[in-house]
Amino acid sequence: MGFTASGVLIVALFLLLGAGVWIGLALLGVGWIGMMLFTDRPIVNLLGNKVWEASSSWTLTALPLFIWMGEILFRSKLSEDMFRGLAPWMSRLPGRLLHTNVVGCTIFAAISGSSAATCATIGRITIPELRSRGYPEHMTIGTLAGAGTLGLLIPPSIIMIVYGVIADVSIGKLFIAGIIPGLLLASLFSGYVAYWALRNPGQVPVETVHLSFADKIKAGRHLIPAVILIALVLGSIYTGVATATESAALGVIGALGLAAAQGSLTWDMFRSALMGATRLSCMIGLILAGAAFLTLAMGITGLPRQLAEWIDSLNLSVGSFIAIMTFFYIIMGCFLDGISMVVLTTAVLLPAVQKLNIDMVWFGIFVVIVVEMAQITPPVGFNLFVLQGMTGHQITFIARAALPLFLLMVAMVVLITAFPQIVTILPETMIGRG
């Protein structure tokens, strides 16, 4: 077998993906080809066992619940309330209301878990508001595209759940590990907005309405529902009151309660949110099942072991390995969505990561950040597609506008590589090393 078998599987995978076959079915098909060509084991039995194993994980039950919570919030009035609560506090910062894109996405990311949902939910309010006030289009679109990716990094995160299930890493630890990098990256985005505003003061509209501190406090009450929901979901995990799955159930209940209190919970809204969550969960489930079967086939060919031995023979430093992986993921992100990237690469790369003694939680956060980059890289960037539909701009215009924030994500990878404690300190402090 060896590299020949691995090469056959890789070529077959790209041929199926290039032919437009659904990703989950393509993974199952390549796994079947590998089993048929390189083993005499009972394929049907192995397929059934692997699909069941991939689908029956208790940890995985958090995934559809968090997705459902995000779907409910997407259809609620939460984003409108958040803008009303945030805007008065942003008026004195360099860049003024452009910061509502960054801060709004940061808050919504903490109760969503999806990059596309974060981008769409915040964008449907901030884009019309910023346009009407005369803010530059490229900054409005660029900051929203970049900050929308925080939906993957700031917990709860769908990508973290997928990685945790595949790599057998504690989802609670991943969630906690994402806090500091998420807030730091949001700060870098806001810092860029402030820097741009100071360099281009003439392009920032002058605020004509000045509110008193008391008025700002009054407007800030609109943020209370989001804060309560964040405390309910993340607070229950960090205090040990609930597991990730249980907190997801609490989040759904909280989201339904919030929507009911706002008057946006109708039968049509409930049904559309439930069906949207069902469709997305089924898509992810099929991808995970296909990836599990393909991983088994690749294990038979010895690809993960051979890759680990090859990387070990190169005597790469951790920094060199991470640099290569960053470039690798950026290229992959031009053609695949984030979840597909994670399920296709994680099982193959884990032996190499373990040989280099890289912390698995740290590597998970690294993967999330580079997947964030894929959300704004053409031609396949989910946030680019979302914003194209909302604004009518070409993908290339949106990608150019988001380029500075893409570069800040690259800088973030450099930071967590140079200072891994940025990622590891909270999980080690709050949960321990076990």
What's the token pair of residue 232? 């309910």
3-state secondary structure of 54: helix
The number of residues making up the chain comes to: 434
What's the token pair of residue 93? 């910062």
Please state which of the ranges 14-18, 261-265, 422-426 shows the lowest mean pLDDT. Answer: 14-18
Return all residues near 273 (Cβ < 8 A) that are at least 6 apart: 68, 71, 72, 74, 75
Task: Give residue 4's pLDDT.
Answer: 65
Helices (H), 56-157: 62-74, 78-90, 99-109, 115-132, 137-148, 150-153
d(CA 254, CA 78): 12
pTM: predicted TM-score of the whole model, two decimal places: 0.82
**Is the pLDDT assigned to residue 297 strictly greater than 90?**
no
Residue type, 119: C
Task: Give residue 125's pLDDT.
Answer: 83
Task: Give residue 181's pLDDT.
Answer: 95
pLDDT tens digits for range 59-88: 678 888 888 888 888 888 877 888 888 888
3-state secondary structure 180-241: HHHHHHHHHHHHHHHHHHHHCHHHCCCCCCCCCHHHHHHHHHHHHHHHHHHHHHHHHHHCCC
Handedness of CA 313, 319, 320, 323 (dihedral sign): positive
Residue 144 backbone phi and psi in degrees, to 5: -70, -40
d(CA 95, CA 126): 14
**Residue whose tokens read 């790599």:** 167
The band of 365, judged by pLDDT with boundaries at 50, 70 and 90, is very high
Check if the beta carbon of residue 284 is closer than 8 Å to that of residue 162: yes
Residue 200 backbone phi and psi in degrees, to 5: -130, 60
Task: Give residue 186's pLDDT.
Answer: 95
How confident is the model over 307-315, as a mean pLDDT?
74
pLDDT tens digits for range 168-225: 898 889 999 999 999 999 999 999 999 999 999 888 887 766 667 787 788 888 888 8
How confident is the model over 412-429, as a mean pLDDT?
93
The band of 120, judged by pLDDT with boundaries at 50, 70 and 90, is confident
d(CA 314, CA 331): 22
What's the token pair of residue 96? 């003024």
Residue 67 backbone phi and psi in degrees, to 5: -65, -45
Task: Give residue 304's pLDDT.
Answer: 66
**Is the pLDDT assigned to residue 262 strictly greater than 50?**
yes
What's the token pair of residue 116? 């596309």
d(CA 155, CA 427): 13
Q: How many CB atoms lie within 10 A of CB 214?
A: 8
Q: pLDDT: is 189 or 109 the higher one?
A: 189
Check if the beta carbon of residue 391 is closer than 8 Å to that of residue 141: yes
The band of 409, judged by pLDDT with boundaries at 50, 70 and 90, is very high
| Long-range pairs, 157-160, Cβ under 8 A, ≥24 | 157/113, 157/368, 158/63, 158/66, 158/67, 158/113, 158/114, 158/284, 158/339, 159/338, 159/339, 159/342, 159/367, 159/368, 159/371, 160/364, 160/368
Average pLDDT over the chain, rounded to an integer: 84
